Structure 1
């Protein structure tokens, strides 16, 4: 069973939902009306945090599950949790200033690469 990986998947989705709600809150706070996606730096950063999280999810979630299937649930979940932590650090930094997004981006990027590399490595090893 993949209970830990399922939990991390649900946490990742919950974090993404949080970023969506943050964009809505930021619209109200800054006065940026739908359908605009620019106009106030605080809103634009909130919007980019949400969009960037969405951009990474199709990379991370399949890699997370393939890693869990081919290598192990606990290790996949641990690396997936690091990805979420990286996204939170990214959120906190980027919310303050665009220049502060780097540490969170690096954490989540390394976790995503680890999941993808581990999954592809395990699959290839089984093919040979």
Structure 2
């Protein structure tokens, strides 16, 4: 019972401090006893046990970094580059779709027909191939960005989109011109897959084996990939 009462008093105390902070009122120094032999001191949400009084210091609790003003700021900062690459990928797919529509009109291939002149079939197949790889690209982009490195994942994402653009243009002109861009984009995908695996393993294994073991190994692997 004392433990539950203690936890309830803590919650009420934090709510009172936060309410006063939001209202712009000074946080008063409070003293009240608990039904136990010790008392709790709260300073910036860090409890410590003292005798004879429970104290809230006359200052507003502060959070570290940008969380002091907006707790969601760090999250936005961590996904901004990934979001930008995602928007570019969507716009690129829209451009490929439009190219297929123009090709249908140019070569007089009405939907749902997917066969026609070789020029149309190359454009159509290039668009379909890019669409097929898009879910895989999105998945490894975000996983690598969350668990490994946002900047590195976003950079790889830009390289992948550039390679896909070259692939679409090359395939539209000739089947042979698609080979180099597709090989390059596939290599970028494998890099993103590797970063995703390393990042997820680091997140899972670090609490189990400790940062000294798993963290050191995964840091070495990360440096071998990105060079720093």
Question: TM bucket by the smaller chain?
Answer: over 0.9
Residue 168 (structure 2) pairs with residue 73 (structure 1): no
What is the match of residue 119 of structure 1? 196
Deviations 1:10-44 (A, max 9, x none): 10111011000000000000011111001111111
Residues in 1 aligned to 2:98 and 2:169: alpha-carbon distance in whole angstroms: 15
Residues in 2 aligned to 1:82 and 1:90: alpha-carbon distance in whole angstroms: 12
Paired residues in the alignment total 128
Q: Secondary structure at 1:2's aligned position in 2? A: helix
Residues in 2 aligned to 1:92 and 1:35: alpha-carbon distance in whole angstroms: 23
Residues in 2 aligned to 1:14 and 1:42: alpha-carbon distance in whole angstroms: 23
Question: Pairwise CA RMSD of aligned residues?
Answer: 0.9
Shift of 1:127: 2.1
Q: Which has the larger radius of gyration?
A: 2
Structure 1 runs of 4+ aligned residues shifted over 4 Å read: none
Give the structure with the higher percent helix: 1
Residue 164 (structure 2) pairs with residue 91 (structure 1): no
Give the structure with the higher percent strand: 2
Q: Secondary structure at 2:145's aligned position in 1? A: helix
Q: Secondary structure at 2:115's aligned position in 1? A: coil
Q: Which has the higher contact order (CA 8 A, sep 6+)?
A: 1
Q: 1:21 is matched with which residue: 92, 98, 101?
A: 98
Residue 144 (structure 2) pairs with residue 55 (structure 1): no
Q: 1:38 is matched with which residue: 115, 120, 143?
A: 115
Query: Is the CA contact (8 Å cut-off) linking 2:148 and 2:198 kept in structure 1?
Result: no
Residues in 2 aligned to 1:54 and 1:120: alpha-carbon distance in whole angstroms: 24
Unpaired segments ≥5 residues, structure 1: none
